Amino acid sequence: MPEEVAVTHSFRIVEPNFTFPVSVTRHEVASVLPAHIRAFDLTTIISPQGNSLTKAAIAIVPGSKRSLAITLPPGNEFWFAHFNGQAVSTWTRDEQLIVPLTQSLSEESEALVELFLQGSNPASLETTLETTLKGLNIDLPANAVSWNVILDPQWEFKEWSGDLELVSQSILEFDEKNLNEFIENEVTRQAGRTKIAEDWLQQGNQYLNDGNDFLARNAFKNAYGLTQHDAAFNEDARVQLRTVKTQQAMAGISAQQKQRSQASEGQQQLSLEAQQSAQQILASADPAQENTLLNLADRLIEQHEDAASVARSFDITLPKKGTLLKFVKSVQVDETSNMQLKIKAHSRAASLPIGTILALTAFLGIVSILRSKLSAAR
């Protein structure tokens, strides 16, 4: 047998005349996925009233995939989405939420998609919580699925059911140590955003050197959006972004002016010129023409920025206080069925402390004795 042939099964024949039937089924070659989800983390906070707030964090290698299609669980309201820490504009298609992936640094680098949802599932009774949580459906298989459910301190966890595995249960208390940990995590998070912005800025300069103004503009835009916490770096990214915008606007105005003035035989030369970078086009303009183009470009950019819609959001820090339930699942393949958890809990206020019960018993006993004495005196 050739050495390169891998052995998958081995059998021993007891009798020489034995016939061993073997059937082989040939399957179609599976298509290569355009992107890969490395981790899918959900965190859900359940309020005293039974309502929920969920943050979904999807670590994805975008590859050739340009957008992510997500089916929201029924009864949940979508708030906003982040891509690598920046707010992105989403849209709906065939009842699915579409999140763009075009702001990734490269097809092979890992990106983070974050979504925030609000669920309305009030407690069935004042003393009992029976809630059903449903996860997101993504148009890709998800690996390393984890779901952290945090119950408000009012609720005492009793039981659960669902298609994930409960691996740990703990009590979270907010104290000075938690506050220091939160501050450290926030500093680390901002440092990570700055590092990504630095990579975008470096990539944008490389695009400029290669003459690719369009990609350079997107890179500087991403760097500018990621560094609102760092004034000096943010100003540097803003200046470079504005410079690229101005150069592109000036080049476009110059090309339109030449198009009006040139005859039909000059259109071939114009089409070749349009493929050049903005720097190459402006290098041939005289100073007076360049000053005129600069003023027109500034007006054009201001009008465009005033009219352009910008995705807005805010940073949310989920309060981690109460009972933490950690559920895991190795992989989520089915795109049509929701991950589901059913949580049952009782209100801690429904059961009085033993000290309170003893005090009430003693009080009622004293009242009973006094009433007996008053009846005997009469």
Residue that has been written with the tokens 């901002």 in this structure = 190
Classify 364 as helix, strand or coil.
Answer: helix
Token output for 150: 């945090």
The model's pTM is: 0.65
**Number of helices (H), then strands (E), in the chain:** 7, 15
Reported as a single tens digit per residue, the pLDDT across 16-26 is: 677 777 787 77
- Determine how β-strand 142-151 pairs with β-strand 36-46: parallel
Q: Is the pLDDT of residue 148 over 90?
A: yes
> pLDDT by residue (tens digit) across 194-231?
887 888 888 888 887 887 777 787 788 777 777 766 77
Question: Is the confidence at residue 377, as pLDDT, over 70?
Answer: no
Task: For tokens 């016939």, name the residue.
Answer: 19
**Based on C-alpha coordinates, what's the Rg of the chain?**
32
Q: Which residues lie closer than 8 Å to 185 by C-beta, 6 or more apart?
A: none
CA distance 50 to 46: 6
pLDDT tens digits along 114-126: 999 988 765 555 6
Higher pLDDT among residues 176 and 129, named by residue: 129
Q: Which fold has domain 36-174+319-350?
A: Immunoglobulin-like (2.60.40)
Residue 316 has pLDDT above 80, yes or no: no
Are 260 and 213 a contacting pair, CB within 8 Å? no
Distance CA 101, CA 65 (A): 7
Two structure tokens written together for 204: 């944008």
User: Would you place residue 268 in the very low, low, confident or very high pLDDT band (cuts 50, 70, 90)?
Assistant: very low
Q: Which two tokens stand for residue 231?
A: 């004034």
DSSP state letters, 17-80:
T--------PPPPPPPPS-EEEEEEEEEEE-TTS-EEEEEEEEEE-TT--EEEEEPPTTEEEEE
Cβ count within 10 A of residue 133? 25
Question: What average pLDDT score do residues 273-282 get?
Answer: 53
The yes-or-no verdict on residue 356 having pLDDT over 80 is no
Tell me if 112 sits within 8 A of 85, measured CB to CB.
yes
